[in-house]
Amino acid sequence: VPTIADHSERELIARIRTRLSPPAAWVAVGIGDDAAVIESERNHLEVLTVDALVEGVHFDRAFTPAAAVGHRALAVNLSDLAAMGARPRFALLSMALPPALPTDDFDAIITALADLAASHHVQVIGGNLTRTSGPLVIDVTAGGVVRRRQVLRRAGARSGDELYVTGRVGSAHAGLQALQARAAAPELRDAVHRYLYPEARIRTGLLVARNRAASACMDLSDGLADAVSQVCEASGVGADLTAEHIPIAPEVRQWFEARGLDAVREALHGGDDYELLFAVPRRRRRAFLAASRLAGVPVTRIGVCAEAAGVRVDGRTDLADPSAGFRHFR
Amino acid sequence: VPTIADHSERELIARIRTRLSPPAAWVAVGIGDDAAVIESERNHLEVLTVDALVEGVHFDRAFTPAAAVGHRALAVNLSDLAAMGARPRFALLSMALPPALPTDDFDAIITALADLAASHHVQVIGGNLTRTSGPLVIDVTAGGVVRRRQVLRRAGARSGDELYVTGRVGSAHAGLQALQARAAAPELRDAVHRYLYPEARIRTGLLVARNRAASACMDLSDGLADAVSQVCEASGVGADLTAEHIPIAPEVRQWFEARGLDAVREALHGGDDYELLFAVPRRRRRAFLAASRLAGVPVTRIGVCAEAAGVRVDGRTDLADPSAGFRHFR
């Protein structure tokens, strides 16, 4: 099988370029120089984020198709931009490649990443390729723009603000469990797809930001409990969540319960959903719901911000204990 | 020895933040949210680059102090910005950390990177930390600004333009050889320092760009021969270099020759110098020399661009054969 070791850096860059959309007019210098040069957008702030996928940590190639790796590498960054209310514009792709990586897998990673980029009008303007003796690492830097008064921050929630979450939570985690168990689980097909090919909620983030309907926002990359804790901590408030309002798909709830797991706890702490959490002042509720309807993504009210610090679920403090989110580097 | 495995991600981020300069006024949202938000600079284009250092590929921890790793990780990116004529503004730091990395090494990496950033008024506005089962990977994305008419590209050199290089070439390569050989070599102290702590030629790049004195520019990360080839290929010209004009420090020349190596060939193909190569139209020579004098960095004319494709050194085509720069991923 042809592998990365059979190609020069130059050949691999050429394989990437053929898969990308042609450069937009605002790209003054694209791939192939010491750095990329782009025009900024008037009356906008720039939003920048970086996130890495490491083989064996963030994905297992045994059950994660190469296309999913490429898709996720960009999607997790787009999700961070969405959580700021930003419109994505560009990405830089840095890869550390094990020489044994099959060329077909490399191509599939790039194709999926390029397709997701194109679907969001994101330009891949540069990057870096290197070899590594270790696992595959894909580091994507993404940039976007937002108007100053529309930035969605983690800080800003006030006591009394309602907490909403987009889509459903726990699905990606159940999908991952099904993949890890090599379970057939046709009823989890959607959940598995959500794990492999997460959809960044860019349109929802943008429309809510434009309506100035949220006082705080964060994405759910590390789980719902982590997101609620972080927003609360940054905002200096607490939160009361209602377990039965947490939107868990019926087949996902069944999956967890059939395994003797507490579905609510799994949904609170399972990561990889890439949904958005919003804090919404009561007087902005209609504007928020209008924005989410326009975005075409359902939102669910899961609780309310409170004066008292800490996150309670049906009054219990143990269920959402944020220490589960403090991942040690062991 | 305390290692990365003894800390949570949150603790490590806190260790980074204490070592950074306080955020500038143009940083609207810094470290600690889903993404960073910054103000762009009026009447400037944005310049973006990413470069990774992988342990075992780009540095050997056996003889590279942790401080040098941190310094180099940012310096190689600042060099790319310098080669575009850009003024650096910000960096994003993404690290894949082996759990066994000593906490002291982590701190030393961050301190050196933060110090270099501060010395160039570069703000570290965000990043990402993850663990890895493989080697340490440090991926830095750097951003800067340049005025539209001052962008230095690889393409643009014309036949007859003179080729200049900053500083000296081959020193970093000799320094690396001395480190690899565990040679005492006090006469190579400067060369070793240049390998470990390269200095990006930011001021030279900026002043030459402002004077519009160069028709093309590139940094020497992959060696002088590679840089001349790339500039020529991008510009559709060839080049004639004069071997004796290539600025090799006397002690570096001696080091190579004492080992039976051709000093010119080593200087042409050795990487890691992070000097700048400029193509300068003859009528811009005075403006170019004035800019380099003002920058305080010596420049040396090493040759001239020619109609005939290819890079010749004293008329020979074998010395600068660019295929040495096509590094395979083996």
A31-64 pLDDT, tens digit each: 999 999 999 999 999 999 999 999 999 999 999 9
Q: What is the pLDDT of residue A319?
A: 87
Question: Cβ neighbours of residue B153 under 8 Å, at least 6 residues apart?
Answer: A29, A33, B84, B216, B217, B234
A contacts of B125 (beta carbons < 8 Å): 48
What does the pLDDT average to over A196-221? 97
What does the pLDDT average to over B147-166? 98
Residue closest to B21 by CA, chosen among B107, B142, B124: B124
A contacts of B39 (beta carbons < 8 Å): 45-46
Q: Which of A11, A37, A57, A215 to mutate to test the interface with B (most CBs of B within 10 A)?
A: A37
Q: How many C-beta atoms lie closer than 10 Å to residue A112's C-beta? A: 23
Decide: A50 and B94 in contact? Cβ < 8 Å. yes
Q: What is the pLDDT of residue A329?
A: 58
Per-residue HEC secondary structure of chain A comes to CCEHHHCEHHHHHHHHHHHCCCCCCCEEECCCCCCEEECCCCCCEEEEEEEEEEECCCECCCCCCHHHHHHHHHHHHHHHHHCCCCEEEEEEEEEEECCCCEHHHHHHHHHHHHHHHHHCCCEEEEEEEEECCCCCEEEEEEEEEECHHHCCCCCCCCCCCEEEEECCCCHHHHHHHHHHCCCCCHHHHHHHHHHHCCCCCHHHHHHHHHCCCCCEEEECCCCHHHHHHHHHHHHCCEEEECHHHCCCCHHHHHHHHHCCCCHHHHHHHCCCCCCEEEEECHHHHHHHHHHHHHHCCCEEEEEEEECCCCEEECCECCCCCHHHHCCECC
Nearest to B29 among A5, A153, A328 (CB): A153
Q: What is the pLDDT of residue A306?
A: 98
Nearest to B9 among A7, A96, A327 (CB): A327
Nearest to A94 among B50, B130, B143 (CB): B50
Residue given tokens 């450069």 in the structure block? A23
Distance between CA B20 and CA B32 in Å, rounded? 13
CA atoms lying within 13 Å on the CB side of residue B169: 34
Put simply, the answer to whether B92 touches A49 (Cβ < 8 Å) is: yes
A contacts of B133 (beta carbons < 8 Å): 56-57, 134-135
Distance between CA A4 and CA A95 in Å, rounded? 12
Chain A residue closest in CA terms to B35: A49
Query: How far lies B137's CA from each of B96, B129, B292, B300, in Å?
Result: 5, 10, 35, 35
Distance between CA B79 and CA B289 in Å, rounded? 20
Question: Cβ neighbours of residue B253 under 8 Å, at least 6 residues apart?
Answer: B170, B263
Nearest to A326 among B10, B34, B217 (CB): B10
Distance from CA of B248 to the nearest CA of A (A): 24
Question: At residue A208, does pLDDT exceed 90?
Answer: yes
Residue closest to B301 by CA, chosen among B280, B275, B286: B280
Phi, psi torsion values for A154, nearest 5 degrees: -75, -40
What does the pLDDT average to over A197-204? 98
Question: What letter does residue B273 receive in the DSSP assignment?
Answer: -
Phi, psi torsion values for A227, nearest 5 degrees: -65, -45
Residue closest to B190 by CA, chosen among B173, B177, B171: B171
Phi, psi torsion values for A53, nearest 5 degrees: -110, 125
Q: What is the pLDDT of residue B194?
A: 96
Residue closest to B142 by CA, chosen among B164, B163, B120: B120
For chain A, first and last CA: distance in Å? 34
Q: What is the pLDDT of residue B319?
A: 87
Distance from CA of A253 to the nearest CA of B (A): 29
Question: At residue B326, does pLDDT exceed 50?
Answer: no
Residue closest to A92 by CA, chosen among A55, A120, A129, A59: A129
Question: At residue A13, does pLDDT exceed 90?
Answer: yes
Put simply, the answer to whether B92 touches A48 (Cβ < 8 Å) is: yes
Question: At residue A326, does pLDDT exceed 50?
Answer: no
Question: At residue B153, does pLDDT exceed 90?
Answer: yes
Distance between CA B279 and CA A99 in Å, rounded? 36
Per the structure block, which two tokens stand in for A65? Answer: 């198709």
Residue closest to A274 by CA, chosen among A321, A320, A227, A319: A227
Q: What is the pLDDT of residue A226?
A: 94
Q: What is the pLDDT of residue B289?
A: 98
B contacts of A52 (beta carbons < 8 Å): 94, 96, 128, 130, 139
Decide: B46 and A38 in contact? Cβ < 8 Å. yes
Q: What is the pLDDT of residue B281?
A: 98
Q: Which of A34, A78, A231 to mutate to test the interface with B (most CBs of B within 10 A)?
A: A34
What does the pLDDT average to over B256-272? 95
What does the pLDDT average to over A69-94? 98
Decide: B92 and B141 in contact? Cβ < 8 Å. yes
Banded pLDDT at B321 (limits 50, 70, 90): confident
Distance between CA A22 and CA A143 in Å, rounded? 18
Decide: B172 and B111 in contact? Cβ < 8 Å. no
Banded pLDDT at A204 (limits 50, 70, 90): very high
B72-115 pLDDT, tens digit each: 999 999 999 999 999 999 999 999 999 999 999 999 999 999 99
Residue closest to A163 by CA, chosen among A233, A264, A239, A236: A239
For chain B, first and last CA: distance in Å? 34
Q: What is the pLDDT of residue A325?
A: 47
Put simply, the answer to whether B37 touches A56 (Cβ < 8 Å) is: no
Outline where chain B has alpha helix (H): 9-19, 66-82, 103-119, 171-180, 189-196, 202-210, 224-235, 250-258, 263-269, 285-295
